[in-house]
A and B are shown apart, each in its own frame.
Chain A
Amino acid sequence: MHTQETKAIQVTDLTVAYRETPVLWDIDLDVPPGVLLSIVGPNGAGKTTLIKAILGLVRPAAGNVLIYNKPYAVQRKIVGYVPQRGSVDWDFPTNVLDVVMMGRYGALGWVRRPGKQDRELAMHAIEKVGMEKYTTRQISQLSGGQQQRVFIARALVQDATIYLMDEPFQGVDATTERTIIALLQELRENGKTVVVVHHDLQTVTDYFDWVMLLNIRRIASGPVEETFTPDNLRETYGGRIAFIKN
């Protein structure tokens, strides 16, 4: 059954393979606007690859991705991306404000330099993640949680409609986790769509309203209460899961 309602993200028949090994098999995923969705699945399930395929960072062997009915290439400006914290070199000679400003680069386009307004937007985003004391701090001097907040702030200044975040809770302290989840929920309340690669099954029901269970193929996706079931979890994780709550 196909509804005519516009999807924030629509993935159809997406297959990604490294050589002959499939990393994602024939994925279909509809993300309605305004949901806070978590993608969960075991290691090697292809969660990061799915995010990267949506962003055009890996080339699919087959299938299609649409952002509000259009290809990603023309919708870049409405999509904010938070990569895994470990994907960059934190010894790079730069400070917090500078990294957050990078979120404005997409809006600026080629060659144009960030100006006063971009700086103000960046400062505002830094305040939102509670990092205003650290604006001039060199990024290698930050804790893991602080680095993650800088990444989130960098995505916030993009003022996107859709946010894709890869493991934003990985290795962060409890305070940071609370700050981030409050921000994500605020984004959803403002009508944004947020997709989060998530590891901690215990918090799925508390944090998110939608969930996608992934293990190379899509096991299930939909509202948490319907989708996050013991049966689906068992199918996603095989027999290897100890935690199954009612």
Chain B
Amino acid sequence: MITENINLLTAIIAVVSASACALPGVFLVLRRMTLMSDAISHAILPGIVLAFFLTHSVSSPFLIVAATATGILTVVFVELLQKTKLVKEDAAIGLTFPALFSIGVILISRYSKNIHLDIDAVLLGELAYAPLNQLDINGREIGPVALYVMGFMLVLNVVFILVFYKELKLVTFDASLAATLGFAPTLIHYGLMTLVSMTTVGAFDAVGSILVVALIVGPPATAYLMTDSLTRMLILSVIIGSINALGGYWLSILLNVSIAGTIASVTLLVFVLVFLIVPNRGLVSIARRHIRQKWEFAQTMLVIHLFNHEGLPEAQEESEIAHLHEHLRWEPSFALRVVKNALNNRYVLQEASQLMLTERGRAKAQRTLVQ
């Protein structure tokens, strides 16, 4: 087979998987339940192993059903523990998934002689092999299994969110209003958790249980910083997920390293980048706003100082540029820069060595003092 073809297929599988994972991830991020995806992705292992024992096939649809059921069971266990009020949610998650995951690990190590499930593949998956595992119908190979599975999950997630958009939004924002209006928040909750489980199981084979968490959490968390609209957050999550997948895959070829690991790293990198530079909320714009406010505030102090002494006997002394830093207890260099800014903004005029308020500066002082 031609390598380029395989590369293209791998890239498509990565993008489709990333998009499918990002969509339910948006609601997990907004409901502050992202740890649940971590729990589910690990806890489905015993489901997969048990189903494998029963069917002796890694591509049986029964595997997906059994793993999804284990995923939902995880959610039930966590919530039961939490309901006792003796254990908080994070501890409940921390207790549940290692227990279930370890059952899977023990089963694999006990019977691994005659099965080809190994723990490395479980944790990291192997995207590179995903295109090679072809779906076989009547002896004809019609494309990679992973592509069909994740394509199906993508369509299912899109349809679910399109149909129940209103309900998902209401339950996520205000579950008690949803309940009083008759929108069964528990039903929606388990619907969403079923989707998360199914998507995780589907992605498991291709990308493993760690990367799948990066795909579910990373893009929505990034998109959350960029928009104030839920619809846009959903769309952005898919776009960011796809960019991360493509960028990560390309970089992994370039560096000849693990595809899954590189995609996860790129996901983090993109998040940090957006965190720094996004307008209004990013660290850079917050820092710039602070600096601007600092200068703005200093100029306000200056005009108020001049205004308070205007027309009084001490005015001459108080408005002497060379002495300003003493009156206002500023660093001399800082005082000079503030004066320069205030002159530029026409708040003050310089007459000989003294500052005079302009009409504009006086108005500013008055406005500030009245507030």
Contact = CB atoms under 8 A, between A and B. Distances in A.
Interface of A: 52, 55-57, 73, 76, 79, 81, 83, 87-89, 92-95, 99, 102, 105-106, 108, 110-114, 138, 154
B120 interface: no
* Highest count of chain B CB atoms <10 Å: which of A88, A138, A154: A88
B170 A102 contact: yes
Contacts of B173: 88-89, 92, 94, 99, 102
Main secondary structure of the interface of B (DSSP, over half): helix
B170 A105 contact: yes
B164 interface: yes
A114 B115 CA distance: 53
Given A57-B179, A57-B180, A108 B229 contact: no
Contact of B177 (A81, A95, A110, A114): A81
5 closest cross-chain pairs (CB), A and B: A106-B181, A138-B228, A55-B180, A81-B180, A88-B174
Nearest to B230: A93
A184 B15 CA distance: 53
B180 A79 contact: yes
Contacts of B164: 111
B295 interface: no
A93 B233 contact: yes
Interface string B181-192: 111000000000
Contacts of A88: 173-174
Contact of A108 (B166, B172, B228, B230): B166
Q: Pick the most buried of B170, B173, B224, B230: most chain A CB atoms within 10 A of its CB.
A: B173
B163 interface: yes
Contacts of B176: 52, 55, 57, 81, 83, 87
B285 interface: no
B229 A93 contact: yes
B166 A76 contact: no
Contacts of A111: 163-164, 166-167
B229 A94 contact: yes
Given A76-B182, A102-B177, A106-B182, A92 B172 contact: yes
Q: Count chain A CB atoms within 10 A of each CB in B166, B180, B224, B229 and give the residue with the most.
A: B180
A96 to B, nearest CB: 11
A194 B182 CA distance: 21
Which of A93, A102, A112, A138 has most B Cβ within 10 Å?
A93
Contacts of A154: 177
Contacts of A106: 180-182
Contacts of B183: 105, 110
A162 to B, nearest CB: 12
Nearest to A101: B166
B59 interface: no
A110 B184 CA distance: 10
B243 to A, nearest CB: 20
Interface centre among B172, B177, B179, B228 (most CB of A within 10 A): B177
Given A76-B180, A93-B230, 18 more contacts: A55-B176, A55-B179, A57-B180, A73-B182, A76-B182, A89-B30, A89-B173, A93-B229, A93-B233, A94-B169, A95-B228, A102-B170, A105-B167, A110-B183, A111-B166, A112-B166, A113-B165, A113-B166
9 contacts: A56-B179, A57-B176, A81-B180, A88-B173, A88-B174, A93-B230, A94-B228, A105-B183, A108-B166
B227 interface: yes
Nearest to B32: A89
Contacts of B230: 92-94
Contacts of B180: 55-57, 76, 79, 81, 106
Given A83-B176, A95-B229, A114 B182 contact: no
Interface string B173-215: 1101101111100000000000000000000000000000000
Nearest to B173: A92
A210 B20 CA distance: 54
Contacts of B165: 113
Contacts of B167: 105, 110-111
B181 to A, nearest CB: 4
A89 B172 CA distance: 9
Nearest to A19: B85
